[in-house]
């Protein structure tokens, strides 16, 4: 069996010791109550829910899966009751506006809540995760009437939100979508078309659904500039606000998937369904990105979530599983063999997993802190800088979190050997579940192309320069610190390498149109590892201040950080060489030869 205990100590370390989040948040308008004590209390309550309710359902819900019969979806046993408990606790509206029944809490704390929920039950977390994105989109773009009617029900967990983008022929290239929206003359629209891969599109855990649907108006321009967004409820509202008749939207089928089997994925058919315009006509794609950018950061958390559970399970198994003897001498001579954790390969797998998870968590929490600053800071310049950092880091958090989440799930399965491959221990489920995170909300290749093709080029590299400025501040603060030199030295070299590669990509793209697309995935990985190195420097700096009151914790941080600098960060050297090799070797073979 897999094991999971919420890593509250690690989370508090990142929040308070590394980032000083409470000081930053309480200084922002609207967050005066977001003290360290309050955040700790929220995390502790979430840990109880995750460990006691959600995690015990993870494997059984996967084995049962969702069922589809007579147009209705039934979720696995226990999920409906767990969702009711989740909603009753106010978790659905954690960051929603209090005016509409939300808790009004920072995105920073929501990230750690999402991480715990994903670690405990990845499938379950997708249902409220999409609802939170719907809340965000309606909060920014909805009419007063839409907000007052829908937001309290979404924030209270009574209704589920979804995002309906993909069509069978139009995935990444949404400009190709065909779903139509015809005005009815009364402020409503008739929506007709089919959408696929709709997470949470239909189920029995909530009384209604609020679908955000991308469609084309009759006068829409071609391509992505002609997309509008519509709000299409499963049940139409009556004049008094109660639920009325069923709308003309229904699931045609559910997908039979590799993983995430307790999270239903539907084909949704809109047959002249009644909908309401959200935002401006033909501006739907930009509006949907309000939701999608939050969801991309959320999906990044899913990768780190799975990695955390995989790591904890592999570490527990490695301490218990007896196999062979340590290389130097028996570690436990009174036993017939030593536990496998004494072997270097097992240690390497566990150390790699831990080094990535801890750096990734720090970078993700820092990014969400920038989200809060970008929304609330009184200074326009501070808001702009924070928004730049969120824009730059979103593809990195999403892609790095999920790529490494999948890699760590696989490497931790390997710790179990053959036992990891069978269903009993639950490790194969983690590998199956996390794999989709590299695909949905924009594949990781799309994230890489967004980084190199758009984010790096904004205002002559303003975003990239802004992040380098943050790192330079750290290095300047630690200049002359001999106790930090083994960490700041590699970081400085890594940043210089990243700057050099970034400049090379800019120049190479002028001569070869394929150069940047060919290098994009490797470049994002190089950037991610360099950002992780920065996170480790911040962690080590904070850990060295804890030597008097928590020496063992601090010592472990230094050892894991040293491992990262010596055995993980050097991957950037080979990535540098790969990137500079250009596109010629991968593009030279003619299509017919494949």
Convert the pLDDT of each residue in 553-566 to its tens digit. 999 999 999 999 99
Indicate if the pLDDT at residue 292 is higher than 90. no
CA 365 distance to own-chain centroid: 11
CA torsion through residues 594, 400, 571, 469, sign: positive
Q: What integer pLDDT is reported at residue 170 of this predicted model? A: 86
pLDDT, tens digit (0-9, with 9 covering 90-100), for 319-374: 999 999 999 999 999 999 999 999 999 999 999 999 999 999 999 999 999 999 99
- Confidence label for 546 from pLDDT (cuts 50, 70 and 90): confident
| pLDDT of 194 strictly over 70 | yes
Res. 148 pLDDT band, cuts 50 70 90: very high
pLDDT of 251 > 90? The answer is yes
Q: What is the pLDDT of residues 88-110, one digit of tens each?
A: 999 999 999 999 999 999 999 99
* From 441, 460, 493, 507, the catalytic residue: 441
The rounded mean pLDDT for the chain is 96
Kindly tell me if the per-residue pLDDT of 50 is higher than 80. Answer: yes
Residue with tokens 């899966």: 65
Q: Are 409 and 430 in contact (CB under 8 A)?
A: yes
- Contact, 549 vs 518, CB < 8 A? no
When pLDDT is cut at 50, 70 and 90, the band that residue 437 belongs to is: very high
- pLDDT value for 21: 98
- Which tokens go with 196? 């696929």
Rounded CA-CA distance 568/123 in Å is: 30
Of all residues in the chain, what percent carry a pLDDT higher than 90? 94
How confident is the model at residue 152, as a pLDDT? 97
* pLDDT value for 550: 84
Q: 257-291, pLDDT tens digit by residue?
A: 999 999 999 999 999 999 999 999 999 988 888 88
What are residue 225's phi and psi, to 5 degrees? -75, -5
Read out DSSP for 473-519? HHHHHTTT-GGGHHHHHHHHHHHHHHHHHHHHHHHHHHH-TTHHHHH
Reported as a single tens digit per residue, the pLDDT across 386-395 is 999 999 999 9
441 catalytically annotated: yes
Report H helices in 50-143. 55-64, 79-88, 107-120, 122-141
- Rounded to whole angstroms, how far apart are CA atoms 56 and 227? 42
| pLDDT band with cut points at 50, 70 and 90 for residue 426 | very high
User: Angle, nearest 10°, between helix axes 55-64 and 79-88?
Assistant: 140
Q: Which helix (H) or strand (E) holds 250?
A: strand 249-254
**162, pLDDT greater than 80:** yes
3-state SS, 380-409, equals HHHHHHHHHHHHHHHHHHHHHHHHHHHHHH
The 10 Å Cβ neighbour count of residue 593 is 6
**Could you tell me the pLDDT band of residue 300, with boundaries at 50, 70 and 90?**
very high
Q: How confident is the model over 184-193, as pLDDT tens digits?
A: 999 999 999 9
* Rounded Cα–Cα distance for residues 196 and 443 (Å): 16
Residue 234 has pLDDT above 80, yes or no: yes
Q: Which residues fall within 8 angstroms of residue 115, CB to CB, at 6 or more apart?
A: 11, 301, 304, 305, 308, 361, 364
**Residue 547 confidence (pLDDT) above 70:** no
Question: What mean pLDDT do residues 34-39 have?
Answer: 98
């Amino acid at each position: 069996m897999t094991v999971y205990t919420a890593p509250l100590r690690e989370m508090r370390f990142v929040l308070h010791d590394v980032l000083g989040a409470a000081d930053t948040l309480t200084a922002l308008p609207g967050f005066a109550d977001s003290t360290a004590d309050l955040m700790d209390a929220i995390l502790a309550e979430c840990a109880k829910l995750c460990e006691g309710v959600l995690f015990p359902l993870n494997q059984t819900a996967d084995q049962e899966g969702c069922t589809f019969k007579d147009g209705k979806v039934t979720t696995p046993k226990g999920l409906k009751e767990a969702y009711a408990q989740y909603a009753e606790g106010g978790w659905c509206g954690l960051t929603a506006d209090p005016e509409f029944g939300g808790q009004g809490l920072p995105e920073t704390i929501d990230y750690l809540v999402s991480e715990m929920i994903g670690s405990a039950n990845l499938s379950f977390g997708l249902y409220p995760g999409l609802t939170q994105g719907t809340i965000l989109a309606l909060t920014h773009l909805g009419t007063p009437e839409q907000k007052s009617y829908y937001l309290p029900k979404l924030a209270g967990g009574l209704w589920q939100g979804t995002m309906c983008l993909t069509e069978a022929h139009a995935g990444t290239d949404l400009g190709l979508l065909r779903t139509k929206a015809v005005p009815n003359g009364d402020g409503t629209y008739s929506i007709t078309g089919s959408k696929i891969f709709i997470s949470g599109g239909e189920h029995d855990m909530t009384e209604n659904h609020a679908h955000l649907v991308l469609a084309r108006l009759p006068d829409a321009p071609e391509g992505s500039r002609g997309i509008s967004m519509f709000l299409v409820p499963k049940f139409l509202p009556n004049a008094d606000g109660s639920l009325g008749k069923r709308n003309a939207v229904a699931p045609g089928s559910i997908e039979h998937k590799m993983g995430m089997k307790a999270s239903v994925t539907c084909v949704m058919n809109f047959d002249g369904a009644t909908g309401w315009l959200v935002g401006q006509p033909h501006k739907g794609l930009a509006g949907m990105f309000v939701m999608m950018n939050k969801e991309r950061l959320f999906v990044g958390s899913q990768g780190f979530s799975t990695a955390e559970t995989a790591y904890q399970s592999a570490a527990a198994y490695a301490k218990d599983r007896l196999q062979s003897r340590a290389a130097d001498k028996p570690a436990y001579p009174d036993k017939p063999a030593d536990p496998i954790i004494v072997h270097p390969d097992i240690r390497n797998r566990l150390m790699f997993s831990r080094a990535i998870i801890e750096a990734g968590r720090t970078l993700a929490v820092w990014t969400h802190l920038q989200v809060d600053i970008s929304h609330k800071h009184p200074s326009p310049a501070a808001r702009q800088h924070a928004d730049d950092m969120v824009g730059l880091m979103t593809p990195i958090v999403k892609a790095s979190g999920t790529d490494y989440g999948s890699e760590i799930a696989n490497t931790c399965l390997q710790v179990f050997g053959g036992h990891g491959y069978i269903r009993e221990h639950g490790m194969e489920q983690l590998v199956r579940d996390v794999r989709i995170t590299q695909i949905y909300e924009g594949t990781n290749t799309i994230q890489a192309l967004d980084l190199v093709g758009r984010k790096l080029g904004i205002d002559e590299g303003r975003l990239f320069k802004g992040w380098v400025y943050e790192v330079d501040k750290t290095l300047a603060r630690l200049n002359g610190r001999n106790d930090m030199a083994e960490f700041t030295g590699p970081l400085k070299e890594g940043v210089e390498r990243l700057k050099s590669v970034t400049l090379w990509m800019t120049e190479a793209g002028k001569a070869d149109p394929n150069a940047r697309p060919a290098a994009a995935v490797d470049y994002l990985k190089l950037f991610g590892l360099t950002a992780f190195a920065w996170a480790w420097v911040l962690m080590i700096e904070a850990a060295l201040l804890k030597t008097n009151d928590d020496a063992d914790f601090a010592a472990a941080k230094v050892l894991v950080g040293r491992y990262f600098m010596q055995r993980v960060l050097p991957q950037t050297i080979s990535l540098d060489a790969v990137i500079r090799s250009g596109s010629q070797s991968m593009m030279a073979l003619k299509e017919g030869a494949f």
